[in-house]
Amino acid sequence: MSLEKLLAWIPPGHPDEALARQVAFDRLPAHIAVIMDGNGRWAAQRRLPRVEGHRNGIQAVRDTVETAARLGCRVLTLYAFSVENWKRPAAEVRTLMTLLKRYLRLEIETLLRNDIRFRVIGRAEDLSADVRRELDSAVARTADSHGMLFNIALNYGGRAEIVDAARRAVSEGIAAEELDERRFAGLLYTAGQPDPDLLIRTSGEMRVSNFLLWQIAYAEIYVTETLWPDFRRRHLLEAVLAYQKRERRYGGITSSHAAVAT
């Protein structure tokens, strides 16, 4: 919500304070989307099983959610499980689902305290009944929150989302000539939300892995070598500061060149 909100949470004199003071609060990304990657590599570096990486990724989720909410970011989307992630060993998938349930149970009070509204994007209907119950409960309990919207992308695929939107257009009987970009965006899982301004990917991979394909058309991409379990408030603030140094053109020309061009 503001510098004050952020500073109230940072111990005085902590190095993150200087970062927080550099943020231009009038130019915050309205929507930050994060591809949380590198849990397996974090574990491998420590000769631990991959699931230990996932377990240690939870603190990164907590830090990111609270930092984004205190900053005053309107929407945060975290990519937690892709439609392709079912290819992983069954035991790893099971652990990921168990961790998700535990996270929701433990964090619901923090979400409420921070006025955060929780939403799921993806084909949630294919998740097991116990996971769906936990998700539905978190969505219902935070439905009256008016602060940051926190989307978790679960069993999510960007292409699947576009196909689902096309199917909806057909089933709702929308005529071809009625369909334009604005109308189509309203059929996506993220209907009514601003597109991501900032897309963060941890652990250095330079790809989008089927994440928010439609919505990231003009997102600023920030890739950090930091592995997800090591990602903290500081890293999110650094990403926001880097974003604020970018010049967004949307296919146009820079404002400094505009004077010359006319």
The residues annotated as belonging to the active site are 37, 85
- Is residue 75 within 8 A of residue 30, CB to CB? The reply is yes
Q: Which of 37, 66, 107, 134 binds Mg ion (CB under 5 A)?
A: 37
Under the criterion CB under 6 A, does residue 98 sit at the interface with ligand IPE?
no
Residue 222 binds which one of Mg ion, ligand IPE, none, with CB within 5 to 8 A depending on kind?
A: none
Is 82 near ligand IPE (CB under 6 A)?
yes
Q: Based on the shown chain and the rule CB under 6 A, indicate whether residue 114 belongs to the binding site for ligand IPE.
A: no
Strands 198-201, 220-223: pairing kind = parallel
Binding mask 86-125 for Mg ion (x = CB under 5 A): ----------------------------------------
Positions of E strands within 107-244: 117-121, 149-156, 198-201, 220-223
Residues 216, 196: contact at Cβ < 8 Å? yes
Element containing residue 40 per DSSP (H, E): helix 39-45
Closest residue to Mg ion using C-beta atoms: 37
- Whether the Cβ atoms of residue 232 and residue 60 lie closer than 8 Å to each other: yes
- State how beta strands 117-121 and 149-156 pair: parallel
Q: For residues 181-195, b (16+ Cβ closer than 10 Å) or e, as one string?
A: eeebbebbbbeebeb
In angstroms, give the least distance from the CB of 86 to Mg ion: 14
What is the pattern of x (binds ligand IPE, CB under 6 A) and - over residues 189-208?
Answer: --------------x-x-x-
Q: How far is the CB of 206 from Mg ion (least distance, A)?
A: 13
Contacting residue, 85, 98, 137, 244, with ligand IPE by CB under 6 A: 85
Q: Which residues bind ligand IPE (CB under 6 A)?
A: 35-41, 79-82, 85, 96, 203, 205, 207, 209, 228
